[in-house]
Amino acid sequence: MQLTLWTYEGPPHVGAMRIATAMRGLHYVLHAPQGDTYADLLFTMIERRGQRPPVSYTTFQARDLGGDTAQRFQDTLRDAHERFRPQAILVGASCTAELLQDDPGGLARALDLPVPVIPLELPSYQRKENWGASETFYQLVRTLARAPAAPRTHGRPLCNLLGATALGFRHRDDLREVRGLLQALGIGVHVVAPWEATPDDIARLPEADFNVVLYPEVAQQAAAWLQRRFGQPFTHTVPIGTAATRRFVDEVAALAGVPVPPGLVSPRATWYAQSVDSTYLSGKRVFVFGDATHAIAAARVAAHEIGLTVVGLGTYSREFAREVRAEATALGLEALITDDYLAVEEQIAALQPDLVLGTQMERHIAKRLGLPCAVISAPVHVQDFPARHAPQMGVEGANVLFDTWVQPLMMGLEEHLLGMFRGDFEFHEDAPASHLGRSHAALPDRAPLPVDDIPIPAPPSAVAAAAGAALDRAAGDGSPAWTPDAELELRKIPFFVRAKARRNTERYASERALTQITVETLYDAKAHFAR
């Protein structure tokens, strides 16, 4: 038994639902108890679909367990076929039905329906959602794909786009980006699957020249089978990030035998990352966690395209643990392979990164720890199925990544500035917006302050007095005390490095057993640490 507060992935039958819901003309009959329909609302609410998933549930109850659950399954299957008239049907069991003795495949065969019925064996107590999606897609392809009747008389090269599903993180928009790239290369898209494909489309997959695997978690197994069975090669590069998109373009161009037009992959993000405003991003420490594909891609983009320092990399996708480990090793890290969000939280808390790139869970962990965060991978909540075009892949994807990841950092910097300036006479928390001018110095719901009462910077004498007080306080605890002159000099240093200068000077003085910090000490320390 595993104690779980949060799960990154649902059970494998939810993976099968993601395939069925992505497709057209396919129906899934699921042997499941009352309540398992909760999964419908992942599609209708999180992804905001306007149709119910094409899934019929047997909804067996305790009183059925004596014997007629098999009959219920057959009745549900027959009704679903009559009502929806699908081109093909998936049948399977959810976790509870897996414990019963009914055999959905055998029961379906006995009904002898006039359409292909594909039984799914999804071991709920060993496997999870992505595995379920991959297995379902593989079984569909295995069962339905047909050798082309005749070799195609060659026009332009054709490929299939494989892996986009319902409830996939940005799958809708990634497809549009990748289609655009292929079009620019003069490569035709034969079938997109499972996204909006019919079972007939699946049957036509082998007619294409090669396959583009967009999401290995879902499509690699099916693509590998298509390669073995029909000799279709498939792509291994996932075009997330500028460099990966360039490699992807080269890969598909080579498979299709077409040239790559110059300047095809030139996202604005490349220049944005080079522009001086981005200099402060250098060396920012980032923690990356997600599904294997997005985590690996994000680590590369962070390190090589935005110039961050990756301090942690991990995934919940055990199926692709090897790939993530290899990527982590290349970055000099040890990969975190876990589906326990407490372990992820522990590592983030220990690393205290400047930015967290992760899933919905990391977003909440980061919020709790007060760290900036951006979402790069499923599982995600409703806000990450946006109305606007927001791909992760291709040229526009690279732009989206830059904006999405840098924004929380910018906000982090703003927050930092606000903290720095808190108490500043014209930039304190009750200050009105500066564009409202002096005449609006008081907020409408407050009594207006007489102009004389507006705090003004303390005169040097007051600062000196305050510094003197500080000197008195400091004298007692044995740490070096600041002379009033030194304290005044310190205040001339820009605020954003002042704290560091104070710390360094005090350290310098302590190490040398000085009891007083003078202006000389301040500059001695500056020179010392500048070396």
Annotated binding site: 36, 412-413
Spell out the alpha helix ranges (H) of 231-285. Answer: 242-256, 268-274
Give the shortest CB-30-to-other proteins separation in angstroms: 10
- Phi/psi at 299 (nearest 5 deg)? -60, -40
Which of 27, 31, 128, 190 is the binder for other proteins (CB under 8 A)?
128
Which of 126, 153, 275, 439 is the binder for other proteins (CB under 8 A)?
126
User: Can residue 36 be called a binding residue for other proteins (CB under 8 A)?
Assistant: yes
User: How far is it, in rounded angstroms, from Cα 178 to Cα 214?
Assistant: 9
Task: Give residues 42-61 in contact with other proteins (rule: CB under 8 A).
Answer: 42, 44-45, 48-52, 56-61
User: Can residue 368 be called a binding residue for other proteins (CB under 8 A)?
Assistant: yes
User: Can residue 86 be called a binding residue for other proteins (CB under 8 A)?
Assistant: no
DSSP assignments along 304-316, one per residue: IIS--EEEEEEES
Nearer to other proteins, 24 or 364 (CB): 364
Which of 68, 83, 386, 527 is the binder for other proteins (CB under 8 A)?
83
User: How far is it, in rounded angstroms, from Cα 114 to Cα 214?
Assistant: 33
What DSSP character marks residue 452?
G
Which residues partner with 393 through β-bridges? 240
User: Can residue 41 be called a binding residue for other proteins (CB under 8 A)?
Assistant: yes
User: Can residue 338 be called a binding residue for other proteins (CB under 8 A)?
Assistant: no
Q: How many CB atoms lie within 10 A of CB 416?
A: 11
User: How far is it, in rounded angstroms, from Cα 522 to Cα 159?
Assistant: 67
Active site residue 277: yes
Strand order in the sheet with 117-119: 55-57, 26-31, 88-93, 117-119
- Phi/psi at 492 (nearest 5 deg)? -80, -15
Which of 10, 312, 314, 391 is the binder for other proteins (CB under 8 A)?
10
Nearer to other proteins, 142 or 364 (CB): 364
Give the shortest CB-218-to-other proteins separation in angstroms: 18
CA atoms within 13 A on the CB side of 506: 14
- The 453-482 site mask, x for binding other proteins (CB under 8 A), equals ------------------------------
Dihedral sign computed on CA atoms, order 269, 295, 297, 376: negative
Which of 24, 25, 95, 224 is the binder for other proteins (CB under 8 A)?
95
Tokens at 30, concatenated? 């699921």
Which of 25, 100, 340, 471 is the binder for other proteins (CB under 8 A)?
100
Task: Tell me if the bond preceding 391 is cis, omega within 30° of 0.
Answer: no
Give the shortest CB-95-to-other proteins separation in angstroms: 4
User: Can residue 3 be called a binding residue for other proteins (CB under 8 A)?
Assistant: yes
Nearest alpha carbon to residue 51 among 23, 13, 75, 31: 23
Q: Which is it for strands 210-213 and 158-164: parallel, antiparallel or unpaired?
A: parallel
Which of 21, 74, 87, 124 is the binder for other proteins (CB under 8 A)?
124
User: Can residue 130 be called a binding residue for other proteins (CB under 8 A)?
Assistant: no
- The 405-444 site mask, x for binding other proteins (CB under 8 A), equals ----------------------------------------
Give the shortest CB-118-to-other proteins separation in angstroms: 21
Annotated binding site for substrate: 412-413
Three-class DSSP category at 234: strand
User: Can residue 2 be called a binding residue for other proteins (CB under 8 A)?
Assistant: yes
The residue length of the chain stands at: 531
Among 79, 250, 277, 472, the active-site one is: 277
Tokens at 441, concatenated? 């110095």
Query: Which residues belong to the active site?
Result: 277
Residues that bind other proteins (CB under 8 A): 1-7, 9-11, 13-14, 33-42, 44-45, 48-52, 56-62, 64-65, 76, 79, 83, 94-96, 99-100, 123-126, 128, 364, 368, 381
